[in-house]
Amino acid sequence: MARVSSLLSFSLTLLVFLHGYTAQQFPNECQLEQLNALEPSHVLKSEAGRIEVWDHHAPQLRCSGVSFARYVIESKGLYLPSFVNTAKLSFVAQGQGLMGKVIPGCAETFQDSSVFQPREGRRQFEGQGEEEQSQFRDMHQKVEHIRSGDTIATTPGVAQWFYNEGQQPLVIVSVFDLASHQNQLDRNPRPFYLAGNNPQGQVWLQGREQGPQKNIFSGFGPEVIAQAFKIDLQTAQQLQNQQDNRGNIVRVKGPFGVIRPPLRGQRPQEEEREGNGLEETICSARSVDNLDDPSRADVYKPQLGYLSTLNSYDLPILRFIRLSALRGSIRQNAMVLPQWNANANAVLYVTDGEAQLQIVNDNGDRVFDGQVSQGQLIVVPQGFSVVKRATSDQFRWVEFKTNANAQINTLAGRTSVMRGLPLAVITNGFEISPEEAKRVKFNTLETTLTHSSGPASYGRPRVAAA
């Protein structure tokens, strides 16, 4: 009995200690009395583009446990392979190009020569003449075409690269889940570069002396690299990019010779429907889905706009990284009815146009009432109610949510919380007449999108339109 009592006492002491430690680490993270539309705080310039980083110490980002970055890759620009310590969800805001990932332990399924010899014949292949060896070109892991509207899921530690093969800049925005259970470091975004460098250093890290951020190979001795890759010392030193000041986005000279699949719409119908016949594993799992096709929208009204969601039911890999996304596009004076996220924080990034937003916190205070414009972001914390109204010809945005299956509740509309309450609760709760309670409950027939006409147009319950 004494032993059980001592064990219980120790457990309670440990819990108190851990709670205190956590509180000291992240004190009052979500005491958000005011929200602001945020813009990048740091710009890292490279030869063929730039990386724009938001300050992840900003209270609303720190509360959500995420960081945010925007990659602008010029025509023929190559974002060199890197990996991060967190799960990442990206959205292609503009342009088109190629993307490649290198997943540990997976085979090189893209091969460029029908005469390529199997592994057991490689010794014989190495002994062949120069002319025969020239028939072998390359083999590598999967390469995908990406375009505007694509949402890309990336797991921690997976090396990823992008190439802009179009004429306009390729713009990709990414959210990094710093609070994820898969991040075993601190709550700082930490990109690890396989190639290239960052002459400006990781300027977003506080309390760290800044110097140029070099690639991983730079930390090893050249002789170690030479031995590991079976190459000469000079080539090993080249891998370290010691004298290379082009940054992390470099310009490709000449053709970009990678093995690429047919463009979407040019693939055989059977392949589109059934895949390649392989059992889906982490190596072959889909990680890209497009949210810019209105025909696949979850909510669509031609006069108002559309909303499309992407969760783990649509893209199973999201179950692993525990993130999801929503794409919205509404016309001028259209409104997204007041709602809140039941089980997630939402990072809202504006891709086009402008809108008026109001956000209300748990204290009933309006913590944001203002305009958001293209290129800005704002966080809508879990439970905070938000209403959006387009003030430009078209307002388009993407929301990254910190749950694989984020759920929303609406305040007004046919499926809202007010619609689900008994009239007696509304009458007594707000001290209004039964007639007024009926109008509150039944006047708004839409579920999500509506016209933002003024209060003067309201009066009697409307009849549902087809």
Tell me the pLDDT tens digit for each residue of 71-119.
999 999 999 999 999 999 999 999 999 999 988 878 676 667 544 444 4
**Over pLDDT 70: what percentage of the chain?**
78
Phi-psi group of 23: left, alpha or beta (phi > 0 → left; psi -120 to 50 → alpha; rest → beta): alpha
Cβ contact 248:196 at 8 Å:
yes
For 415, the 3-state DSSP assignment is coil
**Tens place of pLDDT per residue across the chain (466 aa):** 555 455 455 454 544 444 444 434 444 568 788 999 999 999 999 999 999 999 999 999 999 999 999 999 999 999 999 999 999 999 999 999 999 998 887 867 666 754 444 444 444 444 444 554 455 577 777 888 999 999 999 999 999 999 999 999 999 999 999 999 888 988 888 899 999 887 777 766 665 556 678 888 988 999 999 999 999 999 998 898 878 888 899 999 988 877 677 666 544 443 443 444 444 577 778 899 999 988 889 999 999 999 999 999 999 999 999 999 999 999 999 999 999 999 999 999 999 999 999 999 999 999 999 999 999 999 999 999 999 999 999 999 999 999 999 999 999 999 999 999 999 999 999 999 999 999 999 998 899 999 987 553 444 443 433 3
326 lies in the same domain as 246: no
Q: How far is residue 48 from each of residues 71, 137, 239, measured CA to CA in Å? A: 11, 27, 20
126 lies in a domain? no
Cβ contact 402:343 at 8 Å:
no
Residue 137: other Cβ atoms inside 10 A: 12
23 lies in a domain? no
3 lies in a domain? no
Q: What is the DSSP string of 2-66?
A: HHHHHHHHHHHHHHHHHHHHHHHHSTTTT--S----B--SEEEEETTEEEEE--TTSHHHHHHTE
Number of domains in the chain: 2
428 lies in a domain? yes
Q: Which residues of 99-111 are buried (b: 16+ CB within 10 A; e: fewer)?
A: bbbbbeeeeeebe
Phi, psi of 249 (to 5 degrees): -125, 110
443 lies in the same domain as 362: yes
The CATH number of the domain where 363 resides is what? 2.60.120.10
pLDDT at 22: 40
- Domain of 381, in residue numbers: 288-451
DSSP bridge partners of 352: 396
Residue 18: other Cβ atoms inside 10 A: 10
The model's pLDDT over 119-172, given as tens digits with 9 standing for 90+, comes to 444 444 444 445 544 555 777 778 889 999 999 999 999 999 999 999 999 999
d(CA 362, CA 385): 9
d(CA 350, CA 260): 31
199 lies in the same domain as 295: no
The runs of H, that is alpha helices, within 175-334 are 222-229, 233-239, 269-274, 318-321
438 lies in a domain? yes
